[in-house]
């Protein structure tokens, strides 16, 4: 068994290096680093992969830089509708919520669905009611709004397009402000795998639109037999491809290694369907991959006992 490890992402997209100031890059790097330290500490103390990914994604949801929780993108109706999923590789247990508007941390609602309900996916009013009953923090709908996201929506509406977070072409307030869906995957000291993904979706999406992030097998998947995966990118394509599960299926049925399976999914199959994005994944031996077919993806990895490493662009 390899050492316990956690990997995280803060979304993929056209993160132009030339438009990113060192100060902005530092803010993202620092946010990723601190999140990795928190996840790593849970694993180092013998905590579960499930708890490590829950906490990492909860922290990322609370950072307005990323498109999840506070800082979520706007729908066409200038509202926020958030999706999240968590999966436990031990028994393929999963919990997810979609279209929630007032739950401060959608990943905690997803975790509560996993832990305390017989269901896998709750949506909208029903998911919010369940979160209330579970004692989770409920906030006003504008809690999630930021000026940068409002500017992105104006831009996207003007062009009558739906944008993947990082791809809104014109700078909002600061020319180098970029944002992203978040996710985490982990392997703990017991050999258990877990994955979590949380998002505000795509800028200017139709109210009611649900992406890949809350769907087990599409944007999130974990199976102790092979791999834990969290995706980011054009949700509609990831749904059609069952992207996260496809990595596991390639490993299980074709016997290919994790690097080969992940590259096939992101660099061949996703590209063939004009999809953009990336994923992070850990196999049961602790190998970590973070492929993407965009200019950049906010990402990082931390093995227990090692210094975390983070990246934004292609190496
Ligand atoms: N996959 C997310 C969605 O389609 C968006 C993203 O990853 O930025 O909702």
How many domains is the chain partitioned into structurally? 1
Contacts of 126 (CB under 8 A, 6+ apart): none
Q: How many residues are given for the chain?
A: 315
Average pLDDT score over residue span 107-111: 98
Q: Which residue has the tokens 């579970």?
A: 134
The answer to whether residue 219 is domain-embedded is yes
Predicted pLDDT at 269: 98
43: domain CATH number is 3.60.20.30
- Parent domain of 187: 5-91+145-156+175-313
For residue 96, being part of any structural domain is answered with: no
Does residue 294 belong to any structural domain of this protein?
A: yes
For residue 174, what pLDDT band results from cuts at 50, 70 and 90? very low
Residue 69 pLDDT greater than 50, yes or no: yes
Which of 32, 27, 22 is closest to 307 using CA atoms?
Answer: 32
Per residue in 246-286, pLDDT (tens digit) is: 999 999 999 999 999 999 999 999 999 999 999 999 999 99
Residue 84 lies in a domain: yes
Mean per-residue pLDDT for 176-200? 87
Comparing CA positions, the residue from 228, 240, 131 lying closest to residue 185 is 228
Instruction: Assess whether pLDDT exceeds 70 at residue 109.
Output: yes
- Asked whether residue 136 is assigned to any structural domain, the reply reads no
In the residue annotation, 181 being an active-site residue is answered as yes
Query: pLDDT band for position 80 (50/70/90)?
Result: very high
141, 101 contact by CB (below 8 A): yes
Domain membership of residue 11 (yes or no) is yes
Q: Which two tokens stand for residue 127?
A: 């998911």
- pLDDT tens digits, one per residue of 34-65: 999 999 999 999 999 999 999 999 999 999 99
Q: Is residue 138 domain-resident?
A: no
157 C-beta neighbours (distance < 10 Å), count: 14
Q: What is the pLDDT of residue 116?
A: 98
pLDDT in tens, 7-28: 999 999 867 888 888 998 999 9
82, pLDDT greater than 80: yes
**Side-chain half-sphere CA neighbours of 99 within 13 A:** 14
Mutate to test the pocket of ligand 1, among 167, 234, 240 (most ligand atoms within 8 A of CB): 234
pLDDT of 180 over the 90 cut? no
Who wins on pLDDT, 160 or 304?
A: 304
- pTM for this entry: 0.93
Domain assignment present for 124: no
Query: In the predicted model, what is the mean pLDDT of residues 205-210?
Result: 96
Q: Which of 162, 201, 184, 179 is nearest to 82 (CA)?
A: 201
CA of 218 to the centre of ligand 1 (A): 11
Which one, of 202, 153, 212, 186, lies nearest residue 54 by Cα?
A: 186
Please indicate if the annotation marks 289 as binding a ligand.
Answer: no
What residues are in contact with ligand 1 under a 6 Å CB criterion?
11, 67, 164-165, 180-181, 199, 201-202, 211-213, 219, 232-233, 235
């Amino acid at each position: 068994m390899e050492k316990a490890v956690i990997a995280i992402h803060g979304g993929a997209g056209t993160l132009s290096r030339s438009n990113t100031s060192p100060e902005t890059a530092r803010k993202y790097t620092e946010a990723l680093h601190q999140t990795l330290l928190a996840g790593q500490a849970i694993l180092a103390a013998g905590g579960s992969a499930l708890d490590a990914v829950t906490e990492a994604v909860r922290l990322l949801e609370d950072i307005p830089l990323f498109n999840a929780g506070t800082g979520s993108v706007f729908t066409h109706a200038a509202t926020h509708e958030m999706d999240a999923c968590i999966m436990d590789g031990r028994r393929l247990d999963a919990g997810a919520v979609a279209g929630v508007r007032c739950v401060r941390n959608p990943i905690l609602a997803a975790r509560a669905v996993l832990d305390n309900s017989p269901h896998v996916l709750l949506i909208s009013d029903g998911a919010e009611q369940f979160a209330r009953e579970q004692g989770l923090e409920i906030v006003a709908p504008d809690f999630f709004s930021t000026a940068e996201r409002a500017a992105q929506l104006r831009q996207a509406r003007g062009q009558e397009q739906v944008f993947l977070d990082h791809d809104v072409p014109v700078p909002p307030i600061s020319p180098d402000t970029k944002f992203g869906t978040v996710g985490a995957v982990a392997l703990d000291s017991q050999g258990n795998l877990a994955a979590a993904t949380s998002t505000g979706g795509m800028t200017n999406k139709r109210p009611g639109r649900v992406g890949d992030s809350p769907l087990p097998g599409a944007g999130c998947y974990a199976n102790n037999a092979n791999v834990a995966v969290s995706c980011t990118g054009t949700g509609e394509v990831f749904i059609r491809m069952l992207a996260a599960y496809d990595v596991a299926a390639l490993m299980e049925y074709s016997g290919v290694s994790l690097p080969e399976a992940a590259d096939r999914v992101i660099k061949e199959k996703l590209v063939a369907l004009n999809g953009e994005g990336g994923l992070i994944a850990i196999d049961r031996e602790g190998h970590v991959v973070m492929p993407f077919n965009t200019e950049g993806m906010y990402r990082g990895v931390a093995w227990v006992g090692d210094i975390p490493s983070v990246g934004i662009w292609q190496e």
